[in-house]
Amino acid sequence: MSIVQTTRPPAVPSTKVANFKPTLLQTEEHHLCPGCGEPVAIRLVLEVILELGLAQNNVCVIGHGCYGSFVMTLDVDCTLCLHGRAPAVSTGVKRMRPDVAVWTLQGDGDMTSEGLAEILHATARGENITCIMLNNGVFGDTGGQMTASSVIGQRTKNTLEGRDAAYHGYPIVICDMVASMQGSAYVARGSVHNAAAIAQTKRLIRKGFQRQLEKKGLSLVEILTMCPTGWFVPAAGGADYMMESLGKTYPLGEIKDVAAAA
Amino acid sequence: MRRESRGTLVIDVERCKGCELCIPACPPKVLSMSTISNHHGYLYPELSPGCTGCTACQQVCPDYVFEVYRYQTPVMAVVDTEAA
Ligand SMILES: Cc1ncc(C[n+]2csc(CCOP(=O)(O)OP(=O)(O)O)c2C)c(N)n1
Ligand code: SF4
Ligand code: SF4
Ligand code: SF4
Ligand SMILES: [Mg+2]
């Protein structure tokens, strides 16, 4: 079977249409697991920031989760904060530097378990920040335990028989909560399970940042990301598993857009 | 038979972690996993003729393994019918 040579760029005239890494990452290297969805979501946010001309004018406030290791390689201004406190830290940054685009990079454990008060109060205050929540339904970084966002029936390290509503309670659907509050401007949910969803998610992220630039209030973009390690599934099966589990409780699309409602 | 390629890739196989997400992502199905592994012990994707340069593989890859090119003039390659 004929294999095309792919060790170096083509010798005949051609145009490069996609780079290995996003421009705003310093290296392609990272130690996240095979099949993890988080690096894909991070690439989308960094592409949007570059395309909106915000590369020199944004601050990323990072929570605690596997995505946190990107604090070492992101080529944008960033700071780590206490678990779940990113919307509160962002509030301070944004109020001191109102012309800087401020965004959080959080996980479902970080936002809905550890930091539920921070996201809700930041929303209630109508802070002009953009919150990005990577939802894999587990505390991935600590080994795949249940979070407030784990869905009913989901197997995690501490719900080996599946999350049971009667015993563990029901998942917190943070997008619905934030959308119901007056201080939110834009709320949407995307996913990185295939190329079409990835392209759509990038549009949602762009709108999230645009509402901040228009000073409309808080924007929240939740992104479903695969965590094959925490789910005990093979890397190649993570995307399908995600849409059959998290995807049922967390449908994709826009939940609120004040610009559209006007 | 002969098959047209409108695009091509650079695949940084040593950074691949073998997750296989790129395989079903490719619309013309011209990616397949290698039979020998890279130095980390992971199998990696190999390209057969027929790439369109659509970038789907690059978009789904968590490890930033692909660079995508579009040829100015499509390239023809001979492929054996069994593989095609
Ligand atoms: C106050 C506090 N409690 C617990 C931890 C341990 N911890 C670090 S990362 C993490 C899980 C984060 O989960 P999530 O935000 O969903 O990110 P993921 O790893 O799934 O991407 C926890 C519990 C901590 N760092 N600080
Ligand atoms: S544990 Fe899950 S979220 Fe963390 S790097 Fe591995 S796959 Fe990604
Ligand atoms: S660029 Fe498109 S056609 Fe070419 S290998 Fe990647 S997914 Fe397949
Ligand atoms: S998606 Fe990337 S890391 Fe996964 S097998 Fe393909 S090239 Fe390797
Ligand atoms: Mg998580």
Asked if residue B82 has pLDDT above 90, the reply is no
Between strands A14-18 and B66-78, the pairing is antiparallel
Q: Is residue B84 part of a domain?
A: no
Number of structural domains, chain A?
A: 1
The answer to pTM > 0.90 is yes
Q: Does residue B83 belong to any structural domain of this protein?
A: no
Query: With 60 as the cut, is the pLDDT of residue B83 above it?
Result: no
Per-residue pLDDT at B38 exceeds 60: yes
Residue B81 has pLDDT above 90, yes or no: no
Q: Is residue A13 part of a domain?
A: no
Min Cα distance B47 → chain A (Å) is: 5
Please report which confidence band the pLDDT of residue B1 belongs to, taking 50, 70 and 90 as the band edges.
Answer: confident
Cβ of A67 closer than 6 Å to ligand 1, yes or no, is yes
Tell me, what's the pLDDT at A261? Answer: 65
| CATH number of the domain bearing residue B7 | 3.30.70.20
Task: Please list the ranges in chain A whose pLDDT falls under 70.
Answer: 1, 261-262
Whether A17 and B7 lie within 8 Å, measured CB to CB = yes
Which DSSP letter does residue A207 get?
H
Question: Cβ–Cβ contacts within 10 Å for residue B79, how many?
Answer: 17
Q: Report percent pLDDT > 90 for chain A.
A: 98
Q: Chain B residues with CB inside 8 Å of A43's CB?
A: 64
Burial class (CB in 10 A: 0-12, 13-18, 19+), A56: exposed
Residue of B nearest to A39 (CA): B62
Range of the structural domain that residue B22 is part of: 2-77
| Residue A66 CA to ligand 2 centre (angstroms) | 6
pLDDT above 60: residue B45: yes
Sort out which chain A residues have CB atoms less than 8 A from B62's CB and list them: 32, 34-40
- The predicted pLDDT at position A260 comes to 83
Q: What local confidence, expressed as pLDDT, does residue B84 receive?
A: 43
Q: How many CB atoms lie within 10 A of CB B58?
A: 22
Domain assignment of residue B21, yes or no: yes
Q: Give the residue-averaged pLDDT of B23-52.
A: 98
Domain count, chain B: 1
Cβ-Cβ contacts under 8 Å for A169 (sequence gap 6 or more): none
Question: Does residue A189 lie in a domain region?
Answer: yes
Quote the CA–CA distance of B53 and B7 in Å, as a whole number: 4
Residue B25 lies in a domain: yes
Distance A87 CA to ligand 1 centre (A): 16
Query: Which ipTM value was assigned to this complex?
Result: 0.96
Task: Answer whether residue B66 is part of any domain.
Answer: yes
Query: Containing domain of residue A54, as a range?
Result: 38-139+148-157+167-261
Assigned domain for A11 exists: no
Query: Tokens in use for B70?
Result: 């579009």
Any domain includes B33: yes
Instruction: Give me the CATH number covering residue A68.
Output: 3.40.50.970
Average pLDDT rounded to a whole number, residues B9-18? 98
At B78, is the pLDDT very low, low, confident or very high (cuts 50, 70, 90)?
A: confident
